[in-house]
Amino acid sequence: MKNKDTFTDRLEAQAKAKQALLEKAKQGSPNNDPEFVARQQARIDAARLREEREGERRRAKEEERERIRAERAAAAAAKAAEAARKAEEAREARELAAKEAEERARRAIKSTPRPASLGLKDLKAALEARTGGK
């Protein structure tokens, strides 16, 4: 700069210097280099593929978890059904046993001789059998 430069001359010089710096920066920019662009694209593609694989792994793990949950639920349902079946069988067995006991009691009542229908001879024999002849 010279002392004779005016303010506008200095502003113009500053603008030219800025422009020169910008041009130099643009020339050194890796975006202008075709190899750099190719490497960047390869990185982007690799990242996309990696994310897809990770997504597939996550989906596979989730499907496996769902399969295991379904198997456990099916096993629990089968166990509950088996317990219900056994409870039903036990209830039916109790009912059958109660009916058989009731039937046996009815038959026993019917087959027992009544003292009024027994003759004196039969009554005496029953008493002797009971007491052992004493």
- pLDDT higher than threshold 70 for residue 24: yes
Question: What pLDDT, on the 0 to 100 scale, is given for residue 91?
Answer: 96
Rg from Cα positions in the chain: 53
- pLDDT higher than threshold 80 for residue 100: yes
CA distances in angstroms from 4 to 9, 10, 16, 106, 118, listed in the order given: 10, 10, 19, 141, 160
CA distances in angstroms from 105 to 72, 93, 102, 115, 118, listed in the order given: 49, 18, 5, 19, 21
DSSP 8-class letter at 118: S
- pLDDT higher than threshold 90 for residue 62: yes
Question: What pLDDT, on the 0 to 100 scale, is given for residue 5?
Answer: 79
Alpha-carbon gap, residue 114 to 132, rounded angstroms? 20
User: Is the pTM higher than 0.75?
Assistant: no
The domain ranges of the chain are 26-131
Question: What pLDDT, on the 0 to 100 scale, is given for residue 18?
Answer: 95
- pLDDT higher than threshold 80 for residue 127: no
Alpha-carbon gap, residue 91 to 33, rounded angstroms? 86
Cβ neighbours, 10 Å, residue 58: 10
**Positive or negative, the Cα torsion across 81, 85, 88, 90?**
negative
- pLDDT higher than threshold 80 for residue 118: no
| Average pLDDT estimate for 76-94 | 96
DSSP 8-class letter at 62: H
Q: Quick one: pLDDT band at residue 89, thresholds 50, 70, 90?
A: very high
- pLDDT higher than threshold 60 for residue 1: no
Question: What pLDDT, on the 0 to 100 scale, is given for residue 79?
Answer: 96
